[in-house]
Structure 1
Amino acid sequence: MSTSADFVRANTRLAPVPFLPELVLHQADEPIELWERTEEGGAEQPPPFWAFAWAGGQALARHVLDEPELVAGRHVLDLATGSGLVAVAAARAGARPVTANDIDPFSLAAAEANAAANRVRLELLEADLLADGYDDAAVVLAGDVFYSREMAGRVLPFLRRAAGRGALVLVGDPGRAYLPVDGMVRRATYDVPVIEALESVPVRRTSVWQVQTGR
């Protein structure tokens, strides 16, 4: 993963997370420039979701850090981990083990670098779990996964199956267009600082939802 790790470090700067000052994250200084550069790379280089602290992830990480009993001593899966921020927060809150999952090797390289920067350990899993399934985790965390119709259509059945088998399933989301709230209960709401160049606003009202049913 050395090439991916080098790319991550070359295009980001280690800095505190606005809503989680106790954590640091490799973040892009020029988000639009990096996004355009990865788009030019075509299929070989997907969008750099790993280079930013998205609102849903920040809210979910804050919730886990403030209520560590949700994850402490439990196997946590951070689905579509992106930067690994939520996984790092879960590990800091005492979760063991913490599996950070994504299909993008750059994301897993970022998650590994961010885990090291925060002195926690993550297990990295590059796989499409929405197709393959994953029944090992007692807690499933998913930040900002409802950003497209296609993704929502795939991730919701996975989350509901996890809830149906008894896992605690928590979703962080700032009200994306494809967030389905049926079968979910709002646990907390935060005003989260975000990158205005990406979100068009400096702050996003963001909620943490619990998926309650497997239907």
Structure 2
Amino acid sequence: MADSLLALRTSLAEQLAELRGVQPDQLPPALLDISVRRVGDAYYVCPADWEQLRHEEGGAGRPIPYWARPWPSGVALAGHLKDHPPAENLKVLELGCGLALPSVVAARAGAQVLATDGHSDAVAFAAHVLSINEVEGDVALVDWSDHAGHLVDRGPWDLVLAADVLYTSQNVEAALRLFPHLVAPTGTLLLADPNRKGAQGFLAAARAKFELVSDRGPDVTLHLLTPRNG
């Protein structure tokens, strides 16, 4: 186990350094102090001490690494997909994937998955999470709220996954502009949200173009949106 963790750390260091444009020894130590953990029957690799990583990144003037831990919405979305697996070869896009647990579950069901995030570190970790679960899937560095044109060009998508992405008004506005162009006419948008006020604003406006079914929970609500035809 120690040898495999060392190999994983070495591989991550090489990719993270390349994506950041630095030498491996210039990476924050907490970024490479990793552990492999389990949620349900899926594994993920993450920085072992998120608070320390947050401290080191803050000291370097970098953004808070929200991507580096599994949040309840992502876990809930992964659990829903395990209980309701997508069809084999379904074309699936995950936005703001972070550690990509929903993508792992979808890929395990045989879907064709593209996991995307706007943070380069997240993309490197997501690729390794897919690998340690021995599933096939692509990853891409894309900030969907700013630069999602090529996601539209690669679509439309049979299933679009998003967990806790509506945390700012700018994201809500971007989602209202973008999401209708991502989802295939017979496709589905599956949104997991920790009952944020912004999500309610998005859903109210999205009803003009989507049919909505919600499975409300005390901490996370799953919203299934299908395009209105005609």
Normalised to the residue count of structure 1, the TM-score between the two structures is 0.79
Question: Where do 1:124-143 residues align within 5 Å?
Answer: 124-130=139-145, 131=147, 132=149, 133-134=151-152, 135-143=155-163
Q: Which runs of 5+ in 2 are unaligned?
A: 1-11, 18-23
Is the partner of 1:113 in helix, strand or coil?
Answer: helix
How many residues of Structure 1 are paired with residues of Structure 2 in the alignment? 195
- For residues 44-68 of structure 1, what are the alpha-carbon distances to aligned partners after superposition, in whole Å with 9 as ceiling and x for unaligned? x433233111111111111111111
Matched, 1:47 2:64: yes
> 2:32 maps to which residue?
10
* 2: CA distance, partners of 1:79 / 1:63: 16
* 2: CA distance, partners of 1:150 / 1:76: 24
With CA pairs under 8 Å and 6+ residues apart, which has the higher RCO, 1 or 2? 1
Question: Where do 1:60-209 residues align within 5 Å?
Answer: 60-68=77-85, 70-95=86-111, 97-130=112-145, 131=147, 132=149, 133-134=151-152, 135-163=155-183, 165-179=185-199, 180-182=202-204, 183=207, 185-190=212-217, 205-209=219-223
> 1:34 maps to which residue?
53
The question of whether the paired residues in 2 share the 8 Å contact of 1:11 and 1:34 is answered with no
Q: CA RMSD in A?
A: 2.6
Is the partner of 2:94 in helix, strand or coil?
Answer: strand
The question of whether the paired residues in 1 share the 8 Å contact of 2:31 and 2:47 is answered with no
Distance 1:51 1:91, change over 3 A: same
Distance 1:72 1:207, change over 3 A: farther
In our comparison, the structure showing a higher alpha carbon Rg is: 2
Following TM superposition, by how much is the alpha carbon of 1:213 offset from its aligned partner in structure 2, in angstroms?
Answer: 4.0
* 1: CA distance, partners of 2:31 / 2:51: 17
* 1: CA distance, partners of 2:226 / 2:53: 37
Distance 1:164 1:123, change over 3 A: closer
AA aligned opposite 2:169: R
| More off after superposition, 150-159 vs 136-145 | 150-159
The question of whether the paired residues in 1 share the 8 Å contact of 2:185 and 2:227 is answered with no
Distance 1:41 1:155, change over 3 A: farther
Query: In percent, how many aligned pairs have the same letter?
Result: 24
AA aligned opposite 1:49: Y
- For residues 158-181 of structure 1, what are the alpha-carbon distances to aligned partners after superposition, in whole Å with 9 as ceiling and x for unaligned? 123334744211101111231122
Is the partner of 1:156 in helix, strand or coil?
Answer: helix
The question of whether the paired residues in 2 share the 8 Å contact of 1:101 and 1:127 is answered with yes
Normalised to the residue count of structure 2, the TM-score between the two structures is 0.74
The question of whether the paired residues in 2 share the 8 Å contact of 1:50 and 1:84 is answered with no
* 1: CA distance, partners of 2:120 / 2:60: 14
